[in-house]
Amino acid sequence: MGMEKARIPSHTSTKNSSSQVWSFVSAPNLHPMKVIINVNRPGTASGLLFVAPYTSYEATMIGQTGALIMDQTGNPVWFRPLDSIFKQNMDFRLQSYKGKPVLTMWQGTISGTQSANPNLPAGDPEPGAYYLILNQNYKLIKKLTAQKGFTADVHEFTITNRNTALFTAVKQVPADLTPYGGPADGYFDNYSIQEVDLQTDQLLFFWNVLTHVDPAGSMLPASSATSSNNIWDCFHVNSVEEGPNNTLLISMRNMWAIYNIDKETGNIIWQLGGKQSDFTFGPNATFSWQHDARHRPGNKISLFDDACCASSSSPPEGPAHGLILQLDFRNMTADVDRTYYHNPNLIVESQGNVQKLSNGNQFVGWGQNPYLSEFGNAGNTKKNPSLNFLYDMRFPNQNMSYRAFKNKWVGLPCYPPSIAVNQTCEDAAIVYASWNGSTETVAWQVLAGPWPNRLSVVVNSTPRTGFETDIDVNSAGPYFQVNALNSSGQIIGISRIAHADEWQY
């Protein structure tokens, strides 16, 4: 990810300001961040937004860290909070496993988020990290770690169409770094690409970066190791994707390069960018400190061009942007096809991604900056960033999400809806209803009665409003229950029976 140690000062805390953090009567343990919608123009793709909020050590975390699904108005749909701001989820997204939709994420602690003096290069995963796969019922169906002494890395976890897991992993390798200008008792921050059978955990493929890529090509000086326990983050692999003909497309941030490798031999077929580029670049086509390289149809590559930063002292190369390049393999040239700049332009020091949406729009997560945006496919320019700028959301304070995605998702929780009751007077109450993760609930039905076995319907159907719906009920109760209704009016979830005396301020 490339968060720099020089940018990480001395304290961190969490904040629950009502203007910036959600609180729910029926779900008192959930406190996701509130967001602001800056731009919402016609023409956006349908879908929900997937982010995993956290912040750096320098900043105050607003709300809880975790995995968050929101609708386009910023209302939470599902939130899975973590029990400490020093734990994070990364690369939270929708994938397919055995033909069914699943949620996947990395979970662990990121170096540089819990201490002023991180033991690893900032952005590295601390040992003990793992990947999670959850099904449509939000039930955990798989937990996976890296193999061969490597730590599961934050940057990439992809389920292939063969139902295998393809991911990045990292390990510190002792080395004399003096030939590169670093310390004698140093370490390479080495990466591997691993593919594992999700049924058997068998390691099917292993690619060692240090074996195939010369660290001398790094744009990050080896002398930087002295500020991170003598570990040189020379490569910083941050995306891997399967390509045609048994190839892998791999982005290495600190090499300023994207590699196409042959899975069969492990050999590099070509390198795009960096000191040993096989391509020459047309005007404005170069990139630096990039993330999220993806194949696009017609010999195109998309990426997020951070254009920043090796350290706090190095100036940015320019504003960050989504970039689609047209590759010409006959002449080995790379030219700009489309660009996607934020309005206004942003300097982004780390992270970020570009996603092609179902209607052809492009969705951009701005990484270390607290924004996500949607663009019309034609894009815009640095000088005219308002062009095709359809949607923009801002997170509170310095909350960030490594990547951000937009997808259609049907969530069917296996746990019941939640209820809370506030008896406002002798024969009236406010009933609060929510169902964390249910995408199919459109209305609520309320039952009340003098005994748990003598409940009757007192509100037949009231529309769901946001994550939590508060419903005025003319009933003395004191026992209440809610039923979740779908668009056909069918009951799809039944809450526990709540007693009005449970209410406490």
At 361, the pLDDT band (50, 70, 90 cuts) reads very high
Q: What is the pLDDT of residues 184-200, one digit of tens each?
A: 999 999 999 999 999 99
Q: Are 353 and 372 in contact (CB under 8 A)?
A: no
Task: Indicate left, alpha or beta for 358 from its phi (over 0: left) and psi (-120 to 50: alpha).
Answer: alpha
Average pLDDT value for the chain: 94
Ranges 111-125, 396-410, 488-502: which has the least confidence: 111-125
Backbone φ and ψ for 423, nearest 5 degrees, come out as -75, 110
What H or E segment, with its residue span, contains residue 97? strand 88-97
- Average pLDDT over every residue of 369-376: 98
Across residues 291-300, what is the average pLDDT? 98
Residues 476-482, mean pLDDT to the nearest whole number: 96
Q: Which pLDDT score is estimated for 75?
A: 98
**Of 123-127, 310-314, 401-405, 416-420, the least confident:** 310-314
Task: Tell me the DSSP string of 333-354.
Answer: EEEEEEEEE-SS-----S--EE
Alpha carbon of residue 127 to chain centroid: 20
Q: What pLDDT score does 17 carry?
A: 54
pLDDT for res 503: 61
Indicate if the pLDDT at residue 71 is higher than 70: yes
Among 168, 205, 208, which Cα is nearest to 188's? 208
> How sure is the predictor about 317, in pLDDT bands with cuts at 50, 70 and 90?
confident
Give the pairing of strands 498-499 and 479-485: antiparallel
Handedness of CA 83, 355, 209, 309 (dihedral sign): negative
Rounded to an integer, what distance in angstroms lies between the CA atom of residue 286 and that of residue 383?
Answer: 18
What is the pLDDT at residue 61? 96
Q: State the CB neighbour count (10 A cutoff) for residue 494.
A: 15
pTM metric for this prediction = 0.95
pLDDT at 22: 97
CB atoms closer than 10 angstroms to residue 398: 15
- Residues of the chain above pLDDT 90, percent: 90
In whole angstroms, what is the distance from residue 372 CA to residue 346 CA? 12
Cα pseudo-dihedral 254, 257, 262, 267, rounded to 10: -70
Mean pLDDT, to the nearest integer, of 363-385? Answer: 98
pLDDT digits (tens, 9 = 90+) for 221-242: 999 999 999 999 999 999 999 9
Encode pLDDT of 74-129 as tens digits. 999 999 999 999 999 999 999 999 999 999 999 999 998 887 778 999 899 999 99
Contact status, residue 49 vs residue 393, Cβ threshold 8 Å: yes
The pLDDT value given to residue 311 = 61
Higher-scoring residue by pLDDT: 21, 505: 21
pLDDT (average), residues 480-497: 98
**What is the structure's pLDDT at 312?**
57
User: What is the DSSP secondary structure assignment for residue 128, as one 8-state letter?
Assistant: T
CB 431 within 8 A of CB 395: no
CA 76 to chain centre: 15
Peptide bond into 344 cis (omega under 30): yes
Which carries the bigger pLDDT value, residue 504 or residue 495?
Answer: 495
Structure tokens at 325: 């390049």
